[in-house]
Structures are given as C-alpha cells and as structure tokens.
Amino acid sequence: MKKNNTKPLLLALYGMDERTHKMMAMYLKGPYKGKAIIVDEFEAEVDLIDADHIKAKDLLDERKMKTPERPIILLSLEQLHIEGTLYVKKPIQTEDLVQALKLAQNQLSSKPAKQAKAFPEQTATTPAEQEKGVEVVTTEKKQAAIKNIDKDEIKKTSKHRTAKDLTEGGFSSYLGHIEGVSFSDLEQVLNASFNPKEFFLGFVQSAVRVSREKGRILQLNSGWKPLIFFPHTQEIWLDANEKQLRAFAGLEIKNSASKAMKLVAADKVVSNCNDNMEGFYETDHFLWMLAVWTSKGRYPETININEPVYLKQWPNFTRLLVTPHAMRIAALLIQGPRTAISIANALKIKPQYVFVFISAANAVGLVSQAKRQADELIKPSHEVKPSKSKGLLGRILGRLRR
Amino acid sequence: MSQYKIIFTGPVGAGKTTAIDSISDVPPVKTDAAASDMTKSRKSQTTVAMDYGIMNLDDGEKIHLYGTPGQERFDFMWDILTVGGIGLVLLLDNTRADPFQDMQFFLDSFSGFIADTSVAIGVTQMDLSSKPSINDYHEQLKTMDLKPAVFSVDARVKNDVSLLVQALLFSLDPGLED
C-alpha cells in the first residue's frame, strides 16, 4: 500500500514504562516532526520493543505471532541480529531511529496490496509456484503465519462458556421476584419499569462509556468488589462469581451508596487481572447479564413500550443468558421494528419475556427506539406467517431442546 | 418419505465434522482421508466427500445432516447436496488469516440456497483468537445487506451447535414453538 506523505506512521511501544513512553512521544513530536505517532497495539503499523526488558523475548514472540506482517524495531544496549527485525542501539541516536523508521516505512510500502482470490484457501502454494522456485514454507511456518492464536485468550474461560438457557419454568426462580409487582396482572406488568441509573447496571454502563471514549483502562470502585474496564479488548474484569454478582445487581443503589461509586485510572492493576484470567468477561455479555438480573421482567424507563423498537443485529446467544423466547423475539424483531406488546401478541407470550429481552438488548446497544422515518413507514403485521413446514421445524426444535 | 436435510459448510478445519457429531443421534459417517495437499498444514485428516449424521425426531422422521467438503475441488457437490435442504449452517474459523474472505466466498457460493431458505453463521476458535469480533462480522454482513444470526461456537459443545441450528429454524419461522 502506498503511503500518503501526510499520514503519520503508527507506532506501538512494548516493554517501556510510562516515562519512556512520554519521552518517545516527545521525540516523535519534536525531532521526528510528527511523522510518526504512538498508538495502541491494535492500530499500529510498526512495533517498537525494548529488547532489554525482562520479558522482551515473550513480547517479540507475541508480536510475531499476532501481527507477522508488521515491521518490528528492537531497541537494545547490545548489538542484536534477529531475523526479520530492525535494530537501534541504545542510548538512541536520532539518526539511527530515523533510519530504522524509514526502513520500516519502506517495508510497509513494498508490501503488495491484498488481492482477491477465487477461493480463500489462504495457505495454498500451487505446484506451478513450487516449480518456479517459490519458497515452499514448512507446516510450522505456515501455521505461525496463518493461525492468529492468542495464548491468553483460551484461559479466559468465562468469556467462552456456553449459554445458560432459561425456560419459562426457571425464569422466576432464577431471577427472583419484584416486590409489589404481580406478573399475573397485565396492567401491573405494563407499568413495571425500572430506571437503570438506580441500579449497578447504570453505573457500569456509564463506566463502559467513559472508558471507551477515553480509550483508557478504568476501575469502578463501588464499596463492593472493583470492576476493571478494558476498552481495547471489550472486556470487564471482576473477581466474583455470577451468584454474587446476581445478588448485587438486584439491589437498588440509593443516593448515599451512589456517592461511593468512583471511577479511577487503573493502568497499574492489569497484572493483577492477568493472575485471574477467569475474571475476564466480554463487556456485552456482562452488561447483558446485569440487565437481565436488574429487569426481572420489567422494561427500562428509557424505552417507551407503546412505540416500536428495532433490533440492530442478532445477539451472540451462545455466550449470553438466554431468557425465555429470546431467540424467537430476536428472529421476529430482526425483520422490522415492533412494539413490545405487538411482539408478545404475535408470538403469544407473556410481555415480561419481551421486556427482559428488550432490557438486555438495550443495555448492550442492540435494541433502540425506532425513530427513523423509514421505521414508522413500515407497519409490521401483527400476525407471524407460519412457514409451510412449520410442523417439521417445530419437531426439529423439540429434538434440539431435549 | 421426504429427505429433509440441514447443510453444514465452511472452510477446512472450521469444525463441520465436529458440529455434526455434536448433535447427531448416530455416530456420523465420516469420509475423512489423510490430507495430501495444503490442507495438511491445518489438519492431518480432512473431509474429501461429505460428512453425514442423523437427528431422529419423535414421530420417526429423520433429519439428515450433511457436511460439505471444505475443499474447492469438491464444490460441484454443493449444488447436489443443497437440493431439498431446510437451511444452511456456515462455520468459520476465526484463526484463519482472513475469515471475512471465507465468509464472502461461502455466502456467494450458496447465495441461491440462502435466498430460498436461510443461513446461520457460527464462528469457531474464538477462544484462540478473539479478533475479528462477532460485531466485526455483523459490520461485514451489513455491506452484503444480510442480517443472519452470527454466534461464537465451540463445535464440540452440543449446546452451542444446538443454539445455532435453533437460530436457523427461528429465522425461517419466528412463530415456531416446540
């Protein structure tokens, strides 16, 4: 890809403390005239590693594994000759670093643009290519280059645990009851709303938003257990099991308790989190759970249940808490906007199952009030047209749920 | 008696054989062979014809589960396999260099079948590589004007495969009740 002269080179730094980060940033703004800037690892075009760091070898291996196409510059007091890397001797001389960055830039510019293939067999080397002397890479090399494996990801078992599927029978016993609301009285059900801001859910949603906007790792102190937000990987870390969290989620947070909620920078606690990988949750999964436990069959005040809502995309149900009829509701709502009551009527289900779905999907930004003109123009029929093979599909469903 | 079938497709190593194994009532018939081409770099055995499993329904009806071979040279079989199919389950391996390219390829290849039925997409190996995310897949699908279910799937876990197939069925008819 030919680089635009005005576009700065994007660098990620590894094995460097905050002070070195700042020095590098100042250097790039000054002597290097802003031709390169420091970004996080996900946006970077070039990786810069302090090879004298205690974990330098691991850092280098990790970069080669995750982003094999990216140029790597090593900084070290000792002379290094590592294949596929550029080297700058410490203490860094401006000319040496400028030269290394230019070489890295050249490497990027010389990479061929991606070409579409007829079939995505991404490791293929044709016999003709082999005859022409094109390097036939070993299986090991191929896998290192092709398989994008993150060794830590597999340890985050909470993130990859299969869904819990709630039936109508287990709904109330699992979630508990709401005092003062009888779900057998339709009038009471239709008035059963909650304000997310008065529960832990609201504070967590707000912290997620701030963390994403600032692009910083933040910690929410609540007087209970701290929650840590990782905006780049879309993860939340908490040292508590789901049962404890469920109990805390249901508590209304009064004014005095809300004053205990503090959001602080948490860059230095990351290593503690890595000691307990089980504590990592996907942010959306975490918010979804909290919303289900907070809702208990009520709808969020931010949604007007008399107006249609729309579903942006299917939720990732295999990693979520699947509330009764949630998949049917998603399948219907993905076809077009509807009101909560019209969904309940069309599927012949109790409104609280629609409300709990709307609460959870709204908490992760998948359900919103339909305000677009196009949404108002589409008037969905209240009836769901049954498919011709409804009986057969129903029997397959029954077999799958056995 | 009619032949009802659900088709599982996707690139080599995406977990089609394992997924069928997870929900089949009989030991699946596998037609794996030692891989002799580039496939060898990803797995030692690969499906050269098709996989086949069965789900027995309460009324004695059978649902046939067919896994397509992942290699291009067998794509002539895909059209034959899909005749009379209920819907398509597309499995994608998230550790591959460009899973979006895989997705585009298979959605294009089965576009006619999908238009007549429906598709549900399972992304495997997300515990080894969390990028691209499920949201990234949805963003790609938007450009193709498609809104199918896309789930993280561990093909070894029955519940994951079951939920994916359920999503396919509800896409065909949200009014279904078991």
CA A130 to chain centre: 41
Please choose, from the candidates A42, A216, A120, A101, the residue with its C-alpha nearest in 3D space to the C-alpha of residue B9.
Answer: A120
Would B18 be classed as within a structural domain?
yes
The verdict on A200 and A286 lying in the same domain is yes
The answer to whether the Cβ–Cβ distance between B167 and A334 falls below 8 Å is no
Which band of pLDDT confidence, cut at 50, 70 and 90, is reported for residue A3? very low
Mean pLDDT in chain B?
A: 85
Residues 213-242 of chain A with CB under 8 A from chain B are 233-234
Residues 124-143 of chain A with CB under 8 A from chain B are 124-125, 139, 142-143
The verdict on A82 and A172 lying in the same domain is no
Which band of pLDDT confidence, cut at 50, 70 and 90, is reported for residue B146? very high
Which band of pLDDT confidence, cut at 50, 70 and 90, is reported for residue A382? low
Domain CATH number, residue B23: 3.40.50.300
Domain around A102: 9-110
Lowest mean pLDDT among A273-277, A344-348, B71-75: B71-75
Would A88 be classed as within a structural domain?
yes
Which band of pLDDT confidence, cut at 50, 70 and 90, is reported for residue A233? confident
Lowest mean pLDDT among A79-83, A142-146, A190-194: A142-146
Q: Among A84, A110, A136, where does a domain finish? A: A110
Asked whether residue B115 carries a pLDDT value surpassing 90, the answer given is: yes
How many structural domains are present in chain A? 2
Would B177 be classed as within a structural domain?
no
Would B178 be classed as within a structural domain?
no
Asked whether residue B29 carries a pLDDT value surpassing 90, the answer given is: no
The answer to whether the Cβ–Cβ distance between B175 and A384 falls below 8 Å is yes
- ipTM entry: 0.89
The verdict on A62 and A200 lying in the same domain is no
At residue A116, the 3 state secondary structure works out as: coil
The full DSSP string for A239-299 is SS-HHHHHHHHTSB--HHHHTT-EEEE-GGGHHHHHT-GGGEEEHHHHHHHHHHHHHTT-E
At residue A220, the 3 state secondary structure works out as: strand
The answer to whether the Cβ–Cβ distance between B160 and A347 falls below 8 Å is no
Asked whether residue A124 carries a pLDDT value surpassing 60, the answer given is: no
The answer to whether the Cβ–Cβ distance between B147 and A401 falls below 8 Å is no
Domain CATH number, residue A36: 3.40.50.2300
Would A148 be classed as within a structural domain?
no
End-to-end CA gap in chain A: 53
Whether the CB of A345 is below 8 Å from some CB of chain B: the reply is no
- With contacts defined as CB-CB under 8 Å, which chain A residues touch B105? 119-120
How many structural domains are present in chain B? 1
- With contacts defined as CB-CB under 8 Å, which chain B residues touch A285? none
Lowest mean pLDDT among A1-10, A113-122, B127-136: A113-122
Dihedral of CA atoms A337, A339, A341, A342 in degrees, nearest 10, equals: -40
The verdict on A208 and A299 lying in the same domain is yes
Would A203 be classed as within a structural domain?
yes
The verdict on A78 and A172 lying in the same domain is no
The verdict on A189 and A50 lying in the same domain is no
pLDDT at B32 (0 to 100): 56
Q: How far is CA B66 from CA A103, A377, B92, in A?
A: 51, 41, 16
Choice between A50 and A273, residue whose per-residue pLDDT is larger: A50
- With contacts defined as CB-CB under 8 Å, which chain A residues touch B133? 234
With a pLDDT cut of 70, the percent of chain A lying above it is: 80
In angstroms, the CA B123 to CA B125 distance is 7
> Stretch A59-69: mean pLDDT, rounded?
82
Asked whether residue B92 carries a pLDDT value surpassing 60, the answer given is: yes
The residues, any chain, with a CB within 8 Å of residue A232's CB and separated by 6 or more, are A40, A41, A42, A215
The verdict on A63 and A192 lying in the same domain is no
The structure tokens listed for B164 are 């994916």
> Stretch A310-322: mean pLDDT, rounded?
95
The answer to whether the Cβ–Cβ distance between A120 and B105 falls below 8 Å is yes
The verdict on A99 and A182 lying in the same domain is no
The full DSSP string for B51-93 is EEEEEE-TTS-EEEEEE--SSGGGTHHHHHHHTTEEEEEEEEE
In angstroms, the CA A18 to CA A352 distance is 50
Asked whether residue A396 carries a pLDDT value surpassing 80, the answer given is: yes
Would A199 be classed as within a structural domain?
yes
Domain around B155: 4-172
Lowest mean pLDDT among A145-159, A219-233, A240-254, B93-107: A145-159
In angstroms, the CA A256 to CA A189 distance is 30
DSSP run (H or E) holding A48: strand A46-50
The answer to whether the Cβ–Cβ distance between A327 and B95 falls below 8 Å is no
The answer to whether the Cβ–Cβ distance between A162 and B160 falls below 8 Å is yes
Give the gap in angstroms from C-alpha A31 to the nearest C-alpha of chain B: 35
The structure tokens listed for A326 are 């949630």
Do B85 and B53 meet the contact criterion of CB atoms below 8 Å apart? no
- With contacts defined as CB-CB under 8 Å, which chain B residues touch A139? 40-41
Asked whether residue A336 carries a pLDDT value surpassing 90, the answer given is: yes
Choice between A268 and A9, residue whose per-residue pLDDT is larger: A9
Whether the CB of A149 is below 8 Å from some CB of chain B: the reply is yes
The answer to whether the Cβ–Cβ distance between A122 and B101 falls below 8 Å is yes
Choice between B31 and B77, residue whose per-residue pLDDT is larger: B77
The verdict on A224 and A296 lying in the same domain is yes
Q: What are phi and psi of A276, to 5 degrees?
A: -130, 80
A interface mutation test: which of B152, B157, B161, B168 has the most A CBs within 10 A? B152
> Stretch A344-363: mean pLDDT, rounded?
94
